Structure 1
Amino acid sequence: MAVIGDVLALGTSLERSSPAYVRGRLKFRVGQLVYVAFSLDEGVMGFAFPREEREALVGGDPRKFQLPSASDLRFNWVHADLAALEAGEARELVVDAWRMVVPQKLSRAYDLAHPHGPG
């Protein structure tokens, strides 16, 4: 079972990433681009994810993953139930979402510095 604390240090340590609280909700962003956001109760993590792959992700494990609200379907976004995720899985989702909003050179540098993933 993952909790917000499992990804908090990671989200603040990724290059160009910064935490922000918006209406009481923690979000991680690069510049103005939000790549991870948590629900007020911290039970759901929304994250950037390729639109063309999200149906497969949600369909593959609907207990863990859900589509965003209808008004957010235009964005590259998916929701995950943190209680259904393992801590390492949550960290991988954060890094993958971060990769969507940073230049490839930062993503490659992260891979060199962390050859075994975010841990």
Structure 2
Amino acid sequence: MVTVEDVRALASPLPRSEEHLVRDQVKFRVGRLVYLALSRDETTLGFAYPKEHRAGLVAAEPRKFQLPRESDLRFNWVHASLSELDADELAELVINAWTMCVPKKVAAAYLGAG
């Protein structure tokens, strides 16, 4: 199980990542693009994820991952139960969500590929 502090520890040092409190929800964004959002009760993490792959992710582990509410299906977004994630999974989700929002050069430089 991971915590909000684990999310914060991964997201805060990422280049261009900023933490904001919006309507009592912790959100991380790059510019105006939100790539992580914690539920108000801090049990669920919403994260950027490619639309074309999310159905497979949810189908593979429905206890861990859920689709967003119907009104948010137009966005690249999935929800995960923090109680079901381990530290390695969280790190992968946070980094992948962040890379969807930053310029490719920024991501490559941070990840050591450029």
TM-score by length of 1: 0.92
Aligned residues: 113
Aligned to 2:112: 112
**TM alignment of 1:70-85, pairs within 5 A:** 70-85=70-85
* 3-state secondary structure, aligned to 1:13: coil
| 1:35-57, Cα deviation, whole Å (9 max, x unpaired) | 00000010000000000000000
* 3-state secondary structure, aligned to 2:112: helix
Aligned to 1:17: 17
**TM alignment of 1:1-119, pairs within 5 A:** 1-112=1-112
Q: CA deviation at 1:88?
A: 2.0
Output the CA distance in 2 between the equivalents of 1:63 and 1:91: 19
Gapped regions of structure 2 (runs ≥ 5): none
Identity of aligned residues (%): 56
Q: CA deviation at 1:110?
A: 1.6
Output the CA distance in 2 between the equivalents of 1:88 and 1:20: 24
RMSD: 1.0
Q: Which amino acid aligns with 1:69?
A: R
Q: CA deviation at 1:2?
A: 0.9
Output the CA distance in 2 between the equivalents of 1:13 and 1:60: 31
Aligned to 1:117: none
Aligned to 1:116: none
TM-score by length of 2: 0.96
| 1:41-80, Cα deviation, whole Å (9 max, x unpaired) | 1000000000000000000100100000000000000000
Output the CA distance in 2 between the equivalents of 1:7 and 1:70: 25
